[in-house]
Amino acid sequence: MTAAEAVAVEYHPAEHHLFETGGRQFLYLVPSGAVFGLSGLSQELFSLLRSCPLSRDELTGELARRGYASREIESTLDEMVEFDVVSSGIPKKSFPSVPDQTFPIQRIVLNTTNQCNLACGYCYEYSDDRISSTKDQPKFMSSSIARAAIDTLFKESAGRSSLHVTFFGGETLLNFPLMRESVEYATSKARKAGKTVEFSLTTNATLLTEEIADFLAEYRIGVTVSIDGDKELHDRMRVFHSGKGSYDIIAPKIKMLLSRHRTNSIGARVTLSNGVREVRRIYDHLTREFGFEGVGFAPVTASPDRLYHINGTKMDRVLDEFEELAWEYRDYAIRGGRHYFTNVSDTVKELHLGISKAYTCGAGLGLLGVGTSGEIAACHRFVDSPVAQMGNVTTSGLNHEARNEFLGKHHIGARPDCHSCWVRPLCAGGCYHESYIHHGQTEASNLSQCDRIRGWIDLCLRIYGEIGMKNPKFLERFEES
Amino acid sequence: MSSLQAFNRKARKLQEACAAETGDAEALDVVALQDKKNKHGRVYYPLGCTLNFNPGWEVDISGGTAGLCAPVERDLFDCYLGCAWPAQVPDHLSNNPDWTSKCNSAVNDWRDVDVIYP
C-alpha cells in the first residue's frame, strides 16, 4: 500500500452491539463475545465512526478539536484496532472455526424408558408434535444396552477427565433399577479409567421415594423436577392418563426430596404454555413453597396450530414478566443475595465468560442421546426419530461419518440466516428440535424468535453491565475453575 | 488507565493475548553493542558483517580482533561469496576464469591477482 493509500484508509466500527446501562456505554463484540466499557475518548471515537467511516487524519483532527491530546488519540485508536473494536477498512465477517472431527464426547443422555405414567398435554414425546416413533422400540432400556452406552461414552471421551451421564425418559424413575445399576457401573468404570463421572436426573417426581432420594444424595445426582407452578397452574397440563392433575402427588414428594437430598442442586423446570403463562406467580410459588435452587422457564416447543402454543402477543407478555424477574435478579445480585431465575443466571454466566458458540448447543458435539434400543441420536429429543441419528451402541457404536455430517450442517457458518445477527455468538441459530418442529429441518434458523432473542440478550447485557459495575464480586461465581 | 475498559473475561483474554504479542517484540529491541548485556544476559552480536560497512566489527564474537573479517586483500575469496559484500570482483565463471590463476595463496600472493579492465 502506498503512503497515500495508507493515509486514506478509513476506519469502521467492527461488528458489535452497543448498549447502555448505569449511565455508561458498553460494546458487545461479535463474534468474540468480548464486552468493553467505553468512556471519554474511546466513547467519542467510536461514536464518530458509528456515524460514518473516517480516515486516521479525519479522526485525529476532529478529536483534537474536541480537546484530546493527539498521542492519546493515536494510542486509543491503535488499541481499538488491536482488540477488533475498530477495523481499518471494511470489517470482514468472521465465524468460530469448525472443531476437530475427533472432538470428544463429554455427556450422554440415557432414555431409561420411553414410557411415562403421566400424559402431559404438551409433551414433545407423546403429543401431536411428537417426532419419535416408539412402537417398535423396547419399552425399557436393558442393562446391557445401558452398559454399552456408558462404554461408548468412555470410548468417545478421549482425554476428557470429567464425564456426565443424564438420566431421562419417558419418566425416568419407571426404570429406577436400571438407573441405579448404571450409576454404579459408570462410577466404577470411571474409577478404573482415572476419570470422574457426574450424574443428573430429570423426573416428573410422581415416583420419588425416600429410598430413591437417599440414593440420589449418596451419588450426588443433580435433579431437575418438571413442575409448572401451583396446583391450579400445574394441573392444567401435567395430568395422569385419567386426566387427574399430578400436583397433590408430587408436592409432598418434592418437599421430601429437598429435605433429604442436599449433595447437589435440585432445580425446577417449568414449561410455559398457552394456559400456563403466569411467570411471576410460578416463580414465587416454586421458590417460597418449595425452595428450589433454580427455576428455569421454557416456552413449550409446539407448532403454531397446537392449542397450547403461546402465540405472538401472549409470548410478548411472557417476556415482559421475564424482564420483571430479570431486573429483580439484578437487584439481588447487586446486594450479593441469591435469586433463582436460571434463565437470567445462565445467560449472565455466558456473557461474563464471553462464550462464542460455533453450535447452538452441544447436541452431537459434546453430548449424545441414547434410546432404549441403543440408537444414538444427537440429543434426547431426537432419540427414536427419523433425523439426527448417528449409530447404535450395541453394534458399531458412534457413527463418526453421520456425526461429522450433522456437525457440518449445523455449524453457525452453515446457517446463513444468522450471519447478520449480532447475537449469533450466544444463540447460533437455536434448538435443532425447535427448528425441526417449526420448519421441518434441523438446520433451519428459528427466525420467528429472533427479535425476542435479541431483546432478551440486550436485556441481560444491561443487567450484566450493571452488576459488573456495582458488585463485580458477584460475577466471580461464574468463573470456571 | 485506557478509556477502553475490558469488562468480561473474554475481553481480558483479548487484552492479554495482544500484550503477549507485543511483549515478544521486546526481544527484537535495538540494543547498543557498548552495553555488555541485553535482557538475556549476553552481548548480542549479529551474525556476519554489519549491514552498513565492511570489513566488520571492531571486535569479533570472542571479544578480540583475531577473528575479524580481514582487509579486502586478505579475504578476497570469502567476503564477496559468503556475505553481502558489495566489493566488485571479476566474473570468474564466464569471462575471467583466470584472473586468480597466479595467486595460490591469497594471503601471500594477493599482489599477483590480475587487474581486469572491463
Residue B14 and residue A468: Cβ atoms within 8 Å?
Answer: no
Whether A474 is covered by a domain: the verdict is no
Among A42, A61, A88, the domain boundary falls at A88
Residues A46 and A144 in one domain: no
Cis peptide before B55 (omega within 30 of 0): yes
Instruction: Give me the sign of the Cα torsion angle A213, A197, A476, A103.
Output: negative
Tell me whether residue A169 is exposed, middle or buried, using C-beta atoms within 10 angstroms of its C-beta: 0 to 12, 13 to 18, 19 or more: buried
Residue A352 and residue B9: Cβ atoms within 8 Å?
Answer: yes
Q: Is the pTM of this model over 0.95?
A: no
| Per-residue pLDDT tens digits for B68-103 | 665 555 556 665 565 555 556 777 788 888 888 887
Distance from CA of A36 to the nearest CA of B (A): 5
How many separate domains does chain A show? 2
Residues A278 and A326 in one domain: yes
Whether A416 is covered by a domain: the verdict is no
What percent of chain B has a predicted confidence (pLDDT) above 90?
A: 8
Residues A66 and A134 in one domain: no
Residue B11 and residue A465: Cβ atoms within 8 Å?
Answer: no
Distance from CA of B4 to the nearest CA of A (A): 5
Whether A454 is covered by a domain: the verdict is no
Residue B7 and residue A41: Cβ atoms within 8 Å?
Answer: no
Among A374, A400, A426, the domain boundary falls at A400
Residue numbers in A near B4 (CB within 8 A): 36-38, 42, 76, 79-80, 83, 85
Residues A195 and A335 in one domain: yes
Nearest by CB: B11 against A41, A76, A354: A354
Residue A36 in contact with partner chain B when CB distance is under 8 A: yes
Greatest alpha-carbon span in chain B: 77
Model confidence band, residue B32 (pLDDT cutoffs 50, 70, 90): low
Residue numbers in B near A79 (CB within 8 A): 2, 4
Model confidence band, residue B57 (pLDDT cutoffs 50, 70, 90): very low
Q: Taking CA A380 as the corner, what is the angle to CA A173 and CA A315, rounded to the nearest 5 degrees?
A: 100
- Report which of A382, A399, A396, A431 is spatially closest to residue A134, judged by C-alpha positions: A382
Residue numbers in B near A38 (CB within 8 A): 3-5
CA–CA distance, A296 with A435 (Å, rounded to integer) = 21
Model confidence band, residue B26 (pLDDT cutoffs 50, 70, 90): very low
Residues A250 and A206 in one domain: yes
Residues A136 and A51 in one domain: no
Among A400, A422, A448, the domain boundary falls at A400
Count how many pairs of residues, chain A against chain B, have C-beta atoms within 8 Å. Answer: 67
Residues A128 and A273 in one domain: yes
pLDDT in single tens digits along all 481 residues of chain A: 566 555 578 999 999 999 999 999 999 999 999 999 999 999 999 999 999 999 999 999 999 999 999 999 999 999 999 898 999 888 888 888 777 777 899 999 999 999 999 999 999 887 777 888 877 889 999 999 999 999 999 999 999 999 999 999 999 999 999 999 999 999 999 999 999 999 999 999 999 999 999 999 999 999 999 999 999 999 999 999 999 999 999 999 999 999 999 999 999 999 999 999 999 999 999 999 999 999 999 999 888 888 899 988 999 999 999 999 999 999 999 999 999 999 999 999 999 999 999 999 999 999 999 999 999 999 999 998 999 999 999 999 999 999 999 999 999 999 999 999 999 999 999 999 999 988 999 999 988 889 999 999 999 999 999 999 999 999 999 986 5
Q: The complex's ipTM? A: 0.88
pLDDT of residue B106: 67
Chain position carrying cell 445480585:
A333
**Following CA atoms B85, B88, B90, B93 in sequence, which dihedral angle do they give, to the nearest 10 degrees?**
30
Centroid of chain to Cα A277: 21
Residues A32 and A125 in one domain: no
Whether A478 is covered by a domain: the verdict is no
Residues A362 and A250 in one domain: yes
Distance from CA of A58 to the nearest CA of B (A): 20
Q: Which residue of B has its CA nearest to A31?
A: B10
Nearest by CB: A76 against B2, B10, B11: B2
At A450, which helix (H) or strand (E)? helix A450-470
Residue numbers in B near A44 (CB within 8 A): none
Residue B4 in contact with partner chain A when CB distance is under 8 A: yes
- DSSP code for A381: G
Residues A13 and A64 in one domain: yes
What average pLDDT does the segment B12-26 reach?
75
- CATH number, residue A298: 3.20.20.70
| Per-residue pLDDT tens digits for A222-263 | 999 999 999 999 999 999 999 999 999 999 999 999 999 999
Whether A39 is covered by a domain: the verdict is yes
Residue A68 in contact with partner chain B when CB distance is under 8 A: no
- CATH number, residue A28: 3.90.930
Residue A468 in contact with partner chain B when CB distance is under 8 A: yes
Residue A62 to residues A45, A69, A254, A460, Cα–Cα distance (Å): 9, 11, 65, 34
Residue A32 and residue B14: Cβ atoms within 8 Å?
Answer: yes
The boundaries of the domain holding residue A74 are 3-88
Residues A371 and A271 in one domain: yes
Cβ atoms of A473 and A352 within 8 Å: the answer is no
Backbone angles phi, psi at B23, to 5 degrees: -60, -40
Whether A98 is covered by a domain: the verdict is no
Chain B residues 15-44 with a CB less than 8 Å from chain A: 15, 18
Residue B7 and residue A468: Cβ atoms within 8 Å?
Answer: yes
Residue A68 to residues A7, A37, A38, A75, A403, Cα–Cα distance (Å): 20, 19, 15, 12, 55
Q: Is B75 a catalytic residue?
A: yes
- DSSP code for A118: B
Residues A216 and A304 in one domain: yes
Q: Is A370 helix (H, G, I), strand (E, B) or coil?
A: strand
Q: Is A160 helix (H, G, I), strand (E, B) or coil?
A: coil
Task: Indicate which residue of B24, B29, B35, B75 is catalytic.
Answer: B75
Nearest by CB: A36 against B11, B13, B18: B11
